[in-house]
Amino acid sequence: MFNGSGVAIVTPFKNGRVDFEAFNKLIDFHLQNNTQALIVLGTTGEATTQNDEEREQVIKAAVERVNKKIPVIIGTGGNDTAKAVKHTKQAEELGADGALVVTPYYNKATQNGLIAHFTAIANATKLPNILYNVPGRTNVNINPTTVAELAKIENVIGIKEASGNTNQILEIKRLVPEEFKIYSGNDDQVVPVYSAGGHGVISVSANVIPKEMQQMCKAFEDGNVKEALRLQLKYKLFIDLLFSEVNPIPVKAAVSLMGYMENELRLPLTPMEDANLAKLQAEMKQLQII
């Protein structure tokens, strides 16, 4: 699929609608700054507040603008298996290169239920599937043995691991085939996940610092661990500030400060609190991002 930094891209809104002019500018920004994959309609893209018509329009826009220069991966998961199957088939039909499939939330599932859920989605399409484990949002963890079982499915090719548990990531690495991709789901753990045998990051911060996130990944891949760590530490405070409120509230504020789009979210998300915004803006100025 890809190695390095893939961006979990925001969805720009303007006056309640998707702002496709801004979306195209953002995609161009990533193509120019060496982002290795575009992850569309994930958590950062506010997928849960977009209807089926909007989803189709956003996927089409991304696929057309990228034009096969890098992989376009669509967030198709959810807590209704039938709907997740539908969305994954839609992504395939519209020309996407892969699907990012989150664990079911709210109704949750046992480990056997997770295997059945992800298997049903993978079997419904030929698209490469990336599992998405983010227990902080879903209150469900994919156990390493479950990941290993799912890795036996031909088109389940990797996992975005956002548990924050390095020991768990090491155990996944121990159990899965060498070619199975492990991506950090936490921007503050890119170097640790690489050290545990990972292959890159699906990044929120890359919305703002795409070149630098890819440089961090490339440095580690080239064996320059010291440089990768330098970049990880340089941007640590900035990354922390991007998660000082619920994602994507801060990152949308940051991208709007760069002038790429309006700072508009859909309820129940609301704009960043003034005190946190001031800290974010100050750090962006310190890093010469703005």
Buried b (16+ CB within 10 A) or exposed e, 134-172: bbeebebbbebebbbbbbeeeebbbbbbbbbbeebbbbb
Q: What is the pLDDT of residue 45?
A: 98
Q: Model confidence at 193, in pLDDT bands (50, 70, 90)?
A: very high
Domain count, the chain: 1
CB neighbours of residue 93 within 10 Å: 11
Query: Averaged over 248-260, what is the pLDDT?
Result: 98
Q: What is the pLDDT of residue 53?
A: 96
**Is 36 domain-assigned?**
yes
Query: Averaged over 47-72, what is the pLDDT?
Result: 97
Maximum separation of any 2 CA atoms in the chain, in Å: 49
Q: Nearest-CA neighbor of 285 among 264, 249, 257?
A: 257
**Is 163 domain-assigned?**
yes
Please check the confidence at residue 92 and state whether its pLDDT lies above 90.
Answer: yes
Rounded CA-CA distance 17/195 in Å is 41
Q: Which of 86, 89, 132, 181 is catalytic?
A: 132
CB neighbours of residue 22 within 10 Å: 20
Rounded CA-CA distance 97/193 in Å is 24
Q: Nearest-CA neighbor of 188 among 205, 210, 172, 167?
A: 205
Q: In terms of residue numbers, what domain contains 128?
A: 4-225
Q: Are 62 and 38 in contact (CB under 8 A)?
A: yes
Rounded CA-CA distance 178/130 in Å is 15
183 is catalytic: no
**Is 264 domain-assigned?**
no
- Determine if residue 202 is labeled as part of a ligand binding site: yes
- Specify which residues 4 forms β-bridges with: 200
Task: Tell me the H-state helices in 94-158.
Answer: 111-123, 135-138, 144-150
Rounded CA-CA distance 248/290 in Å is 19
| pTM score, whole prediction | 0.96
**Is 240 domain-assigned?**
no
* CATH code of the domain containing 100: 3.20.20.70
Rounded CA-CA distance 248/46 in Å is 8
Rounded CA-CA distance 224/235 in Å is 17
**Is 286 domain-assigned?**
no
**Is 252 domain-assigned?**
no
**Is 204 domain-assigned?**
yes
Q: Model confidence at 1, in pLDDT bands (50, 70, 90)?
A: confident
Rounded CA-CA distance 5/185 in Å is 11
Q: Which of 25, 83, 86, 160 is catalytic?
A: 160
105 is catalytic: no
Please check the confidence at residue 49 and state whether its pLDDT lies above 90.
Answer: yes
Q: Model confidence at 105, in pLDDT bands (50, 70, 90)?
A: very high
**Is 235 domain-assigned?**
no
Q: What is the pLDDT of residue 20?
A: 98
Q: pLDDT tens-digit profile of 29-45? A: 999 999 999 999 999 99
Query: Averaged over 215-239, what is the pLDDT?
Result: 98
For residue 264, the one-letter residue type is E
